[in-house]
Amino acid sequence: MILGEKYNEELKYFVAVDCVIFGYEDDELKLLLYPRRFEPHYKEWSLMGGFVQPDESCDAAAQRVLQLTVGLTDIYLEQIGGFSAPNRDPGGRVVSIAYYALVKINEYKKSLVSEYGGRWFTLNKTPNLVLDHEQMVKEALLKLRLKATYELVGKELLPEKFTLTQLNNLYNAIFKKTFDQGNFRKKLASLKVLEQTGEKDTSNSKRGAYYYKFK
Amino acid sequence: MILGEKYNEELKYFVAVDCVIFGYEDDELKLLLYPRRFEPHYKEWSLMGGFVQPDESCDAAAQRVLQLTVGLTDIYLEQIGGFSAPNRDPGGRVVSIAYYALVKINEYKKSLVSEYGGRWFTLNKTPNLVLDHEQMVKEALLKLRLKATYELVGKELLPEKFTLTQLNNLYNAIFKKTFDQGNFRKKLASLKVLEQTGEKDTSNSKRGAYYYKFK
DNA sequence: GCAAAAGTGTTACCGGTACACCCATGT
DNA sequence: ACATGGGTGTACCGGTAACACTTTTGC
């Protein structure tokens, strides 16, 4: 029966999720990586992942994994897609659904991250990753860029209050190019999604820059 | 062990692919649907799908399924994403990776399609679909529209030779709106991806319209 | 000649880009 | 006063949208 007419004639596989965790700090886009906790490739750098449990969707599994590793709930998560090459994992047939997450790098639970040996790496200064995880990172960045062109990204990566220069720098980091200050601000104004707070950040300039927040 | 440290403690699930098959005919975007071949929901309308075999990736599984059902090789396929709600399939825990395909509606093997009871439906005149297949169709259309905005879609849906009016109508069908003839043609000219053949199509007008093909 | 589809041209506007310029303030 | 980062203004260009117009040909 070429197309299969009964479920129970079919094989089952492990189903996992892997998370590309983006953060932003020191004008750089960063990636949270972990030493792998089991064979094969024990202790090599990898994305944080986990197996999907019987009572949860992949989305829920990714949320759970992130909650357990960075200690935050309500994390912004977007599916990248399924990775399923038959030999992608020498440890067994594992189909993995990849996600990317955006987290505020200063809010995550440091204790949890260090418990699992997690470390933030600047993008493009990352070590070699296990399995097909580098491909996942590549696709994650493409998806993030796509999102950032359609809507203003920043709420999930920047602190509550931020200067327009910070936001400009975030975009510079995401696209690895320099957006013109004047044009960037004009665009922001047209979007009408930010509002000025009264306060100023005087740490980087004498004049001081107004803090903004998302409406 | 909250995150699982051994594969063999974990559960396995069925992994399937489902294909949203788009075609274009009579100025309308169409969808190839099939009566389901097994319980649950036996004989109800569904996307064509199949289980992933041990030696193939999901991409390969989707290609195989399409080859077996429409009889074409080298079909344009793009992954939509994973669908994994724990109760999405009452027949068992099945994680499905959805794909969309673009096929030339006049080249598929009619015998094969009818063998499985397949039928082409005009988009938005489709019957209720099984499981989460309607959601898959919805996301497939969004992905197709995204692709069609970035690059000229048509090579995979139209016959080898086609008129600019046909292409215009294809875009009208994809986006459910009317693109201005003049502007559409100007845009096409700027893309420089089409070339005129000598021949004309006189079936729709007295004057006749030049056939074009992709370079 | 006229209807009907194919195909061209004209104009206005909007968003992006480049770049020059002004502002506030601590030293 | 001046250096430094924050912030504004202007002029141009290309793509898009709206729409009027011309061409071809069978009836």
Asked if A3's CB is within 8 angstroms of B84's CB, the reply is: no
pLDDT bucket at A39, cuts 50 / 70 / 90: confident
Question: pLDDT tens, A114-155?
Answer: 889 999 999 999 999 999 999 999 999 999 999 999 999 999
The per-residue pLDDT for B6 is 65
CA distance B193 to A77: 37
Instruction: Look at A12 and A1; give whichever has higher pLDDT.
Output: A12
Flag whether pLDDT at A4 surpasses 70. no
Q: Name the nucleotide nearest B186; use CA and C1'.
A: C8
Flag whether pLDDT at A201 surpasses 60. yes
The per-residue pLDDT for B212 is 97
Asked if A97's CB is within 8 angstroms of B84's CB, the reply is: yes
Select from A53, A49, A116 the least CA-distant residue to A89: A49
Q: How far is B213 from chain A (nearest CA, A)?
A: 30
List the single best residue of B1, B36, B57, B145 to mutate versus A (max A Cβ within 10 A). Answer: B57
Q: Name the nucleotide nearest A165; use CA and C1'.
A: D6
The total number of residues written for chain A in this structure: 215
Asked if B95's CB is within 8 angstroms of A58's CB, the reply is: yes
Separation of CA B156 and C1' D21 in angstroms?
35
Mean residue pLDDT of chain A comes to 93
3-state secondary structure of A187: helix
Q: How many CB atoms lie within 10 A of CB A191?
A: 9
Asked if strand C comes closer than 7 Å to A207 Cβ, the answer is yes
Is residue B75 within 8 A of residue B101, CB to CB? The reply is yes
Flag whether pLDDT at A208 surpasses 90. yes
Question: pLDDT tens, A179-199?
Answer: 999 999 999 999 999 999 999
Flag whether pLDDT at A3 surpasses 60. no
pLDDT bucket at A86, cuts 50 / 70 / 90: very high
Separation of CA B61 and C1' C15 in angstroms?
44
- Which residues face B4 on adjacent strands? none
Residues belonging to chain B with any Cβ–Cβ distance to chain A shorter than 8 Å: 2-7, 10-15, 37-38, 50-59, 65, 68-69, 79, 81-82, 84-86, 91-95, 97, 116
List per-residue pLDDT tens for chain B, 215 residues long: 345 556 877 899 999 999 999 999 999 999 999 999 988 899 999 999 999 999 999 999 999 999 999 999 999 999 999 999 999 999 899 999 999 999 999 888 777 778 899 999 999 999 999 999 999 999 999 999 999 999 999 999 999 999 999 999 999 999 999 999 999 999 999 999 999 999 999 999 999 999 999 99
Which among B2, B51, B82 has the least Cβ separation from residue A68? B2
Order across the sheet with A194-201: list the strands.
Answer: A162-163, A209-214, A194-201
Is residue A22 within 8 A of residue A144, CB to CB? The reply is yes
Task: State pTM to two decimals.
Answer: 0.94
Flag whether pLDDT at A9 surpasses 90. no
Is residue B65 within 8 A of residue B19, CB to CB? The reply is yes
Write phi, then psi, for B70 (nearest 5 degrees): -110, -5
The per-residue pLDDT for A121 is 97
Residues in A touching B50 (Cβ below 8 Å): 3-4
pLDDT bucket at A1, cuts 50 / 70 / 90: very low
